[in-house]
Amino acid sequence: MNHFDQLKHIFYQNIEKECFGTSKEKAYFHSLSVCHLCQKIALERHLNIQIASIMGLFHDYSQFINHTSFHHAKISSEMTHQLLLETDMDEEDIVIIVNAIAKHSNKDCIDDDYSELLKDADVLAQYLAEPDIIFDKHSQERLKKYLPK
């Protein structure tokens, strides 16, 4: 079993245990949407698909497990870091994942390639789920990259 499959199993188990009703639905729908968009964008940008998949799946993890969005990027990063330490994943890959998750809410900043990938996928997933969503100017700029001219 690869790292993504192993971690996906843990994600599913914990969402089943901690989430109910619409919270569970959002946890699955948004997390898997961001995960799949991360995979697609990683292919386009020639980045590691497994790293992209893991960070996409876990980017809002604490929001669903702890039932609050308060500091969710930082806390999701810390929670994911603990899960990743239980695998034999390379430390360099772990750092990429936890940094991208920690930075994903800062849509106004330009960061490393993986952080940018996650920010773009998160904005795009939100837009696809709710096309009438009102974004701030930074998220609007990110979204423009993916909309027809």
Residues 122, 107: Cα–Cα separation, whole Å: 10
Per residue in 123-147, pLDDT (tens digit) is: 999 999 999 999 999 999 999 999 9
pTM confidence score: 0.95
Calculate the CA 129 to chain-centre distance: 15
The residue-averaged pLDDT of 56-70 equals 94
Q: What is the DSSP letter of 46?
A: T
State the sign of the Cα–Cα–Cα–Cα dihedral 101, 105, 106, 108: positive
Per residue in 4-55, pLDDT (tens digit) is: 999 999 999 999 999 999 999 999 999 999 999 999 999 999 999 999 999 9
The residue-averaged pLDDT of 69-79 equals 94
Q: Is the pLDDT of residue 69 over 90?
A: no
pLDDT of residue 1: 62
Q: Is the pLDDT of residue 80 over 90?
A: yes
Furthest-apart CA pair in the chain: how many Å? 45
| CA angle centred on 134, ends 132 and 139, rounded to 5° | 115
Which residues 6+ apart lie within 8 Å of 70 measured at CB? none
Which CATH architecture fits 3-11+19-144?
A: Orthogonal Bundle (1.10)
Q: What integer best gives the mean pLDDT of the chain?
A: 96
Q: Is the pLDDT of residue 70 over 90?
A: no
pLDDT of residue 73: 96
